[in-house]
Structure 1
């Protein structure tokens, strides 16, 4: 087997050598390594740079178009007289006497364009090569042409070409007249504008980066406080730390969520510590008694003085009862510590359970534990979503509680109607001031501490009811005794199983 490459390492190429990361990959990796403030400032600067560059480009293009339109309008207003054209034609044909040249405005270049592409330029001006559009005008295929072309000296010229039917070349073909002027009146302001826009863009980008860094620092102060609080909690395990949360923005919501989380963790830890302390206290009594009884038995064997048979049997029975109490206490603790998702089902959907069948099974066990009791039941079908084992244990705990506090020949009434399970006994009842504590872990009524039990039974019932979306209540029954009410929401009845052939 070959080892897989480590995360972030360069993958091997086809030849076996490691592939070096490209420029883009290195840039992305370095960007991700930057602090959040730097990344926010960089993104702000880039966004402003793109916006300013787009605005500057649009401004430059609009200005260029407007200046070019003005230059074209100026060229269109220029007229060339017939005498000038005739003189220029004579110059081109060589028929103009020496010195008989016509002086034209120095800012404009005038030239004749023939249909074959040849040009004849005015005096003291550099010729401008004819373009295809100029030839089309001279040949009569177009009514005008306007374009920017460098002359033989390399100067950018704006050229306007129009037909001139009154003049022909040596072959008798019509020609066109081009009037041109340098592009300097357009390019000079554009260059100055480009420089100004570049400076403004640079200043804007620097200002945006500075403002972005300042905004990032100001905006991330709550995040810094939250980070410091989390690091302090991780370092000191002090869950009492709270972060001031003001406003309704995302940072405030995150701070409140952190405060809620630490409060829940602190409460969970307190409950865990309380559970451990209570479990240790409850375990100490049966272990002490168990140790005392075993010491008596060991001492009797070591000293050779045998205990009377009745005392020995009583000690063994006490040891057995204490072992049973320990086993029940450990089972209750395991039930309380088990999360709803644990077990074979994992995180699968909670199954639908027939509550009336669970109650019927619990009734059979209750009749075995209280054979002298008159236990009556009326059960209507009802289905709930719950863990079957947890639900059965909760119902059994309610039954056991009623059996334990009933007189020897007493009665227990069990009713299940519309999702409400009522278990009523005719025992001594629970004092009104003790009812708020009956579902607390390890709490036991002073009058019941001599009876067997761990004080966790009703806590398990309350936990199971909460997980199933229901409620449980204990109250004084009319005429004496205690009435337990377990209410669970119903679920869809499961489909009947198909008979197997």
Structure 2
């Protein structure tokens, strides 16, 4: 049964659950109503029996007439009891019943005989049910009478049909009302479920449409502040994020293809020229051959750098795994980056002043980011120029060149992927270096920005949260080595703020 219910549509299940809940509630209310009504009717019924008074002349009247078991004419008027509702008879201790009032005598029970046998001055009475002549009676038996010198009791009785008939009618009415209520509740439940699930149905159709067509531009109308509206807005935000991600992916592929086309075309041209000279038997002059091979080597180096940058950008944009983070000396990273760039650009002077500063970051990625900042500064520095690198005690790393500088209109685009200034497109590079810097710094919880420097040139400002000293007892005396390496200590520190609190400027 449970399996069959689970196979039903959601609106049908809601309708069934609503009908079942209403059925239970109505049944409970109907049973309670019936029980309360029965108790009230029985209480009133018993009270009417107790309030019936027995005339004090009853024994004399019975003695004058005699004990009979049939109704004589005119007896009722002399007794003064209600002839339409109460039956009366006198019961002797031996079980003899003397008819007093009503249609017929009622069978005498042991309880009646016991009450009739009471001879004490105290009046005793009892209420009990008796079935006589196929009818159930409510009987009140009262002691204290004497008939012909014998102790006797009088019984006043009324048929229980006065209570059971209204109760049967009430049960029938309650059953009809409950049945109608359950049917109505089921129908109302289906209508409410259909109306309430209409937004969910629209959401389902939209999801199916997106899965079928991959059209992420579809939006679900979201009105109000209920759960369905929140779900619709969340779904719209999710599809918008997916559309943005897919757009970025497509743009990355297009930009990567465009950037790869130039070095590949140059490589193909140079290799075809070398191959043609070999096939024709007319070798190129040694100087020209050396230039071609140098060009091929340079193009391959550029391709390798571009592929490395693409691999770096293909990593998820979310924060890296905390297991990859370590507390490192930023001044040590900057010092190693300066040495690497000096070897590649001996024609540019790089002056560095580095104060101790410890940060939590991915060591290799952070070193690559600093190298990219230095490469960018060296690229735009003239031969014999100077690049100044300064890391202050506040954790701000400044990289300043004295080149032509970046126009103000181009500053908002410098961290975009594959974006290159029109004046720098003739220079080597893929346009991905600063994008990698922004991404790495953002994942470390810092900020990075470029601005025009006073007196000309460009200044890069990189700020990372950290501390000027490592935690007490750490094994980071070797500058640039991450905490926790070689000594078994963890990388967590109460002095280091958590990563992920900042965002890179773009």
Same fold (TM over 0.5): yes
2:382 counterpart of 1:407: yes
Q: In the alignment, which of 378, 391, 401 is matched to residue 425 of structure 1?
A: 401
Using the TM superposition, give the Cα deviation of residue 497 of structure 1 relative to its aligned residue in structure 2, in angstroms: 4.0
Contact kept in structure 2, 1:137 and 1:161, CA below 8 Å? no
Q: 1:500 to 1:229 in 2, by over 3 A?
A: closer
Contact 1:144 1:160 in 2 (8 A): yes
Other-structure match for 1:463: 439
Cα distance between partner residues in 1 of 2:447 and 2:259:
27
Aligned residue number for residue 13 of structure 2: 39
CA–CA distance in 2 between the matches of 1:356 and 1:233? 50
1:215 aligned to which of 192, 198, 210: 192
**Secondary structure in structure 2 of the residue aligned to 1:126:** coil
Residue number in structure 2 paired with 1:8: none
What's the CA shift string for 1:142-180, capped at 9, x where partnerless?
A: 965434x34144433223344x2455999x9x8765433
Q: What is the aligned partner in structure 1 of residue 171 from structure 2?
A: 194
List gaps (5 residues or longer) in structure 1: 1-26
CA distance in 2, matches of 1:72, 1:229: 69
1:206 pairs with 2:183: yes
8 A Cα contact 1:341 1:347, kept in partner? no
The alignment's TM-score, normalised by the length of structure 1, stands at 0.81
Aligned partners of 1:109 and 1:181 also within 8 Å: no
Q: Does 1:303 align with 2:283?
A: no
Count of aligned pairs: 463
Taking a change above 3 Å as real, the CA distance of residues 334 and 349 of structure 1, as seen in their structure-2 partners, is: closer
Q: Does 1:68 align with 2:42?
A: yes
- Provide the rounded CA distance (Å) in 2 between the counterparts of 1:385 and 1:37: 53
Specify which of 150, 156, 171 is matched with residue 136 of structure 2.
156
Q: Deviations over 1:30-87 (max 9, x none)?
A: 1111111111211222222222222222222222122111111111012335665689
Residue in structure 2 matched with residue 356 of structure 1 by the alignment: 331
TM-score, normalization by structure 2? 0.81
Offset at residue 495 of structure 1 (A): 6.1
**Cα deviation code 1:444-475 (max 9, x no counterpart):** 12222222211100111122223233322111
Residue 32 of structure 2 corresponds to residue 58 of structure 1: yes
Task: Map 1:58-457; keep pairs closer than 5 Å.
Answer: 58-81=32-55, 84=58, 107-110=86-89, 112=91, 119-123=95-99, 124-127=104-107, 129-130=109-110, 144-147=125-128, 149-162=129-142, 164-165=143-144, 178-339=155-316, 346=321, 348=323, 350-417=325-392, 418-457=394-433
2:403–2:458 Cα contact (<8 Å) kept: yes
The 1:436/1:48 distance shift into structure 2, 3 A limit, reads: same
Report the CA distance between 1:396 and its aligned residue.
1.5
The whole-number CA distance in structure 1 between the counterparts of 2:92 and 2:354 is 114
**Taking structure 1 as reference, are residues 327 and 99 closer, same or farther at Cα in structure 2, changes over 3 Å only?**
closer
Q: Decide whether aligned partners of structure 1 residues 108 and 422 sit closer, same or farther in structure 2, where only a CA change above 3 A counts.
A: farther
Where does structure 2 lack aligned partners over 5 or more consecutive residues? 476-485, 489-506
Give the whole-Å Cα distance in 2 for the aligned partners of 1:369 and 1:230.
Answer: 53
How do 1:463-482 residues align onto structure 2 when only pairs under 5 Å count?
A: 463-482=439-458
Determine helix, strand or coil for the equivalent of 1:371.
Answer: coil
3-state secondary structure, aligned to 1:240: coil
Alpha-carbon spacing, 1:85–1:325, altered in 2? closer, same or farther (3 Å)? farther
Assess, with a 3 A threshold, how the Cα gap between structure 1 residues 52 and 352 changes in structure 2: closer, same or farther.
farther
